[in-house]
Amino acid sequence: MTTFNEVYYNECVLERINAMRMREEKTARCRDYLTPQVDAAYRKLMVERCFAVVDAFALGKETVGAAVSIFDRYFSSGNGKSLEALKSPQKFRMAVVASFFVAIKLHEPKPSVLGITSFFVAVKLCLGVYEGSDILITEEEILSALEWRVYASSTTPMEYVRHYVVLLLPMLGLDVADLILESAAKRTYFASSDVYFSTCRASSVGMACVMGAIDDVRSISSSDKEAIWRDLSSKLDWDIKSEEIAQIKKILSVGVSSSEFRTLSRTGSPNTSVDSTVGQSLSPRSVGLIIRSLLTIVLKEVFLYISVFSLMHSLRAQLMTLSGKLHQTQGSGGLMIRQISCATYERDVVTSNSSSITCCC
């Protein structure tokens, strides 16, 4: 029997989904912006590095999804210097780093367990190639090109996945819902590495991920799965088996069966709504990138410490020298004053004696 609280909660979730879809329809769709200089392989490499960084610093993987949405919208807009950045892998990488920096500030408001800031993580992602000022300049360029509408990038496919699974909780149960959420999350992380999925609606990508995750659950019979789709379709009041969703699901299914999916599906805990924790592991390549990044930063900090220590030692020596000269000057001044005082005293005595002798005469 459905309680009043369940009905009210479902209505709240549906309202949020409808609000997200309305904003989605008003937001310009991304396009396939790849060029010969910046191809699909290079874009995928940048996304993998973002995942490696969030793995290393215990950040939410959905932050990468937000970063991907930001730089995809930036390069699709054609505004500012976005077209120029697509002609240079270095400038493209700088835009990815700046987008990742913005996403961290949006999704990671608190420092991680290592006590690092979003700016610190973004600098790590640069691997010592760019300066901090470069990140800030590119960040402002991206925000201006997007007219500061970065919140639209917060509605990632994973955000839809959580809302869809919440609507299915009465039929699935908590244990099965956790499995579906985990599997669907892996699919959303895989989708972020391919620009094709960025050209689709985030709501459609999220639905395709949930469908694929439910298909993988063997404990649910075919008839129960059909009942789940009918129930979800009636609640959402839109076609969840559209041609777009079917195409996305088909491409995702091919990717899931590949080794690339197993590499990209190292999931962490989503940082909002429903929690799911999955074991994490880093590939040797990712470990190498992180170690090289950390060594670069550590060496810079060591050199900075040595420079500051040398400067302090030099200042201390100069202060001691100046202090010695000051004491010497003060000592010479006191001796001179004493000498002048004695000379004046002797002169006064002689003058006084001369006056006395004159008077007596």
The model's pTM is 0.66
Residues 255 and 140 placed together within one structural domain of the fold: no
Q: Is the pLDDT reported for residue 351 higher than 60?
A: no
The confidence score (pLDDT) of residue 128 equals 56
Return the SS3 of 195: helix
pLDDT of residue 287 exceeding 90, the answer is: no
Domain residue limits at 239: 155-282
239 and 276 belong to one structural domain: yes
The residue written with tokens 């202060």 in the block is: 319
* Residues 226, 126 share a domain: no
Q: Is residue 193 part of a domain?
A: yes
- Whether 358 is covered by a domain: the verdict is no
Q: Where among 129, 154, 179 does a domain terminate?
A: 154
- Residues 208, 188, single domain; the answer is yes
Q: Is residue 229 situated within a structural domain?
A: yes
161 and 275 assigned to the same domain: yes
pLDDT at 212 over 60: yes
pLDDT confidence of 171, banded at 50, 70, 90? confident
Which of these ranges, 72-81, 93-102, 258-267, 279-288, has the smallest mean pLDDT? 279-288
- Among 232, 255, 245, smallest CA distance to 202 is for 245
Q: Are 142 and 159 found together in one domain?
A: no
Residues 313, 131: Cα–Cα separation, whole Å: 28
| Boundary-marking domain end, from 248, 282, 316 | 282
Nearest to 196 by CA among 151, 249, 152: 249
Instruction: Kindly report the CATH number assigned to the domain that includes residue 92.
Output: 1.10.472.10
pLDDT value of position 114 = 43
Residue 159 sits in the same domain as residue 221: yes
Kindly state whether residues 124 and 187 are assigned to the same domain: no
- Domain-embedded: residue 116: yes
Question: Within a domain: residue 288?
Answer: no
Residue type at 47 in one-letter notation: V
Q: Kindly compute the dihedral angle of the four CA atoms of residues 130, 134, 139, 140, in this order, to the nearest 10 degrees.
A: -170
Sign, CA torsion 45/47/53/54: negative
Of 265, 282, 299, which residue is a domain's last? 282
Rounded CA separation 66/72 (Å): 10
Tokens linked to 13: 């979730």
Model confidence at 269, pLDDT cuts 50, 70, 90, reads very low
Query: Whole-angstrom Cα distance, residue 74 to residue 18?
Result: 25
Q: Is residue 23 part of a domain?
A: no
User: What pLDDT shows up at residue 360?
Assistant: 38
Residues sharing a CB contact under 8 Å with residue 125, sequence separation 6 or more, in sequence order: 49, 50, 53, 97, 100, 293
Tokens of 15: 């309202």
Structure tokens belonging to residue 63: 């932050």
How many structural domains are present in the chain? 2
User: Does residue 290 surpass a pLDDT of 70?
Assistant: no
* Same-domain pairing of 87 and 144: yes
Do 57 and 117 belong to one domain? yes
Determine the angle formed by the axes of helices 89-107 and 132-145, rounding to 10 degrees. 80
| Cβ 22 vs Cβ 243: under 8 Å | no
Does any domain span residue 341? no
Q: Which of 206-210, 290-294, 297-301 has the highest mean pLDDT?
A: 206-210
Q: Which two tokens stand for residue 242?
A: 């559209």
| Same domain membership, residue 243 and residue 195 | yes
CA distances from 3 to 7, 8, 170, 172 (A): 6, 9, 11, 17
- Using 50, 70 and 90 to split pLDDT, how confident is the model at 124? low
- Mean pLDDT over residues 108-115, rounded? 52
Look at residue 318 and tell me if it is in a domain. no
Q: Are residues 161 and 265 in the same domain?
A: yes
